[in-house]
Structure 1
Amino acid sequence: MKAALIVVDMQEDFCPPNGSLAVHEARTLAPTINALLSHKGFTLRVASQDNHPADHISFAPNHPPPNNLPFTCTITMTNPAPGKETETKPQRLWPVHCVAGTPGAALIPEIDAAKIDLYVRKGMDARVEMYSAFADAFGNLDKEVNRSSVDVDLRGVLSEQGITDVFCVGVAGDYCVKSTAVDAARAGFRSFLVEDATRCVDPGEGWEEAKRELKAAGVGLVSSAEVEGLVGGV
């Protein structure tokens, strides 16, 4: 067994008190995440970051009223992959967040960045949402399809490192953490989500639905206390 820890989107714009898309209690996750980052059982420690252009499709102000209210409105998004242009799906609109080069896109200082081995910047293609650190919202995993959305072929890197198991933490549990964990399983890794090391946009029914999706994808829900027994080390 060789395990990787993926710290998902622990960025200023996703954290109180000033984040434009702040997830309740997100900043309080830092001690738990730092303890996991210090765990000797992990071979690789990855941090993902939303790194959006200002004209990103998910930003509510980039669409005309009245269908441009963040959180409540959706638009139709088209698959950017060649030959799949007829494939569409609804996209929830968000406040402007994590624009490349802005303070809101930075990792929060409470996270022990010295322990991070690899950064993955995602959501770089204005045409498509990318919650997962592996694939865009249409599930395009191929690095050639995905090259405009993300700067690292995460599946390729993990495979080259001989990683067998992936543990996901961070925000938001019902969006980017869930999607990363599901895609890790889809990419052929044993996948786990550390439940006490994540917080959600919609912590009620949103998280319950996310857990159903995670279980259906074969992702294990574990606590940080259980990680010791799963990855070994000290």
Structure 2
Amino acid sequence: MRLLLVPGTSPDRWARVWRERLPDDPLHVVHAGAGDAVDAVLRGDVDAAVLRLPPAGVDAPPPGLPTTLPSTSDGWAVVPLWTEQTVAVVRKDHVLTVVVEVDVSDLAGETLLVPGDDVLGWQPPGVDLLEVPDVPTAVDLVANDAGVLLVPHSLARLHDRKGTAVRVVPDAPGSPVVLVWRTDREHPHAQELVGIVRGRTAGSSRGSGAQAPAPAPRREPRTPRPAPRRTPPRKRR
């Protein structure tokens, strides 16, 4: 099976579990930008993809996502996996680093760096926008005190730089991560993959490679004990 992953998603644990459950069918993992994942599935380059959708409340896909998104009404299987928390990437000595979590209102007045491969498509009110080519460039600019960047947490870890810090923005919309494939070309082990990425055990997975639970031991019927013989009372003479 061929599985595409967008930046920020890691296949290590999934690949290990796949090898344990399906040793005769290797899982081939490829990587591509979030904007290219849908086309790769449509072309048949991969059997399935783990990709991002726009956050709730965002009407149009941001520039880092495909313009046409997978939908069950258009012949896609769309399996929600998790929603990733949004974080603010700031310079290490930025005033926002004095708190553990940043409120959206705390970002007012900041310069927000908007990368050309942005996957959020959301800006807090009261910020000044500065467009930059991509996320790696934005992180470099953050380290040079040029502004603040909002990204899913895994992208902040992926592009970690010396001199930057990360703070969770709990009231910002998160980035939904889903597993998708075309229903007319469903791989035989698609449901097994769902179980693996969702962390289900082999016994609870619906995939064809799952092991069926052992049947409960059959209890043999108990042989009824014979009723005791009652001796009729002797007649008195």
The TM-score bracket by the shorter chain reads under 0.3
Calculate the TM-score normalised by the size of structure 2: 0.25
The structure number with the bigger radius of gyration is 2
Calculate the TM-score normalised by the size of structure 1: 0.25
Query: Is the helix fraction higher in 1 or 2?
Result: 1
